[in-house]
Chains A and B, each alone.
Chain A
Amino acid sequence: MDTNDSLRVASLWYSMHAISQQLSPTNGCSGIELLEVDTFDLHCFQSLTGTKFFVVCETGTQHMEALLKVIYELYMDYVLKNPFYEMEMPIRCELFDINLTTAIQKDRVALLGR
């Protein structure tokens, strides 16, 4: 998946999230948190500022919310404190990528034992 595809998916998700907030029958809805489909699950985490992080995983994967919170912390540390990152641009920070893969590997080992 290249940058253009990522941007397309992200903008699609952003609109869906906003529409769901309006459509919700309950008051005070903050948008879609979990989307369950036959072939995959999509977990979404929204920060206080409205920045959304979503992860697409196999159906039934556990602990995705915790993973999303970890990713949020990594984003804050290695992207926002980086003077060379421009806001709203695709993230090209080496440290962020390294720590992200480490976090996902750790998660995979803990969950699946491999």
Chain B
Amino acid sequence: MIGTGKIKQYANVLDKPLGKGKQEVSLSAFAFLFSELVQYNQTQVDNISELETRLEDAGYAVGARVLELLCHRDKGNRRETRLLGILSFVHSTVWKVLFGKVADSLEKGTEHEDEYMISEKELLVNRFISIPKDMGTFHCGAFVAGIVKGVLENAGFPAVVTAHFVPVEGQQRPRTTILIKFAEKVLRREARLG
């Protein structure tokens, strides 16, 4: 081989440095894979809420792994202990790595203290998906909600995360909002930390 020095062989695969990996993946390939995931789960369940739960569980697994990877790769093994810290981590770093851009906005809920919303004009996973009328309130963004839940729960901030369509006047397609509702103990801890 011309130009390359001797490649260091690692005896143990765990010693190999964690590479950055390929930055880009084909959107079509992902779209087909996700479509197949939804179709497969549709055959296994009886109703829509079970389908959403299944997608959420799939996302949870992704979220747990993404948290570990990003903590090591992008944050130098620092651990987030504050609520706003972990939320902005999800909103910028996680979104950037998974979808190539930061989320559109992060808002605090006005009605309840424990609610936060990440909203997006159109989720990447939903880009090619049209929900038929008889599916009602089903949202394929349950997968992304699962990812967020996986990240938050494994970082020590248990929460209930759901995805909703929010109709916007002047636009044909509704916006998507990921609603995050933190558990009691998270708020108590946050209050204690001041």
Q: Is B172 an interface residue (CB 8 A)?
A: yes
- Bound-state Cα–Cα, A83 to B132, Å: 10
* Contact across chains for A83 and B42 when beta carbons are under 8 A apart: yes
A81 touches B28 (CB 8 A): yes
Interface size on B, residues (CB 8 A): 17
Which residues of B are in contact with A by a Cβ distance under 8 Å? 28, 31-32, 34-36, 38-39, 42, 128-132, 135, 140, 172
Known A78-B130, A95-B130, A96-B130; judge A83-B172 contact (CB<8 A).
Answer: no
A33 partner residues in chain B, CB cutoff 8 A:
none
Q: Mark A17-41, 1 if CB is under 8 A from B, else 0.
A: 0000000000000000000000000
Asked if A78 meets B132 with Cβ closer than 8 Å, knowing A83-B38, A83-B42, the reply is: no
Residues of A within 8 A of B39 (CB): 83
Q: How many residues of A contact B (CB 8 A)?
A: 13
Q: Is A5 at the interface (CB under 8 A from chain B)?
A: no
Q: A77-B128, A84-B135 are in contact. List 5 more A-B contacts (CB 8 A).
A: A80-B32, A81-B31, A84-B38, A84-B129, A84-B132
The answer to whether A82 has its CB under 8 Å from any CB of chain B is yes
Asked if A98 lies at the interface with its beta carbon under 8 angstroms from chain B, I say: yes
Question: Which single residue of chain A is at the shortest CB-CB distance from B132?
Answer: A84
Shortest Cβ distance from residue B128 to the other chain A in the assembled complex, whole angstroms? 4
Given contacts A77-B128, A95-B130, contact A82 B172 (CB under 8 A): no
Contact across chains for A82 and B135 when beta carbons are under 8 A apart: no
Decide if B35 touches A93 in the complex (CB within 8 Å).
no
Q: Could you tell me if A84 and B130 are in contact, using CB atoms closer than 8 angstroms?
A: yes
Could you give 19 example pairs across A and B, Cβ below 8 Å?
A: A78-B130, A81-B28, A81-B31, A81-B32, A81-B35, A81-B128, A82-B129, A82-B130, A83-B42, A83-B129, A84-B38, A84-B129, A84-B130, A84-B135, A92-B132, A93-B130, A95-B129, A95-B130, A98-B172
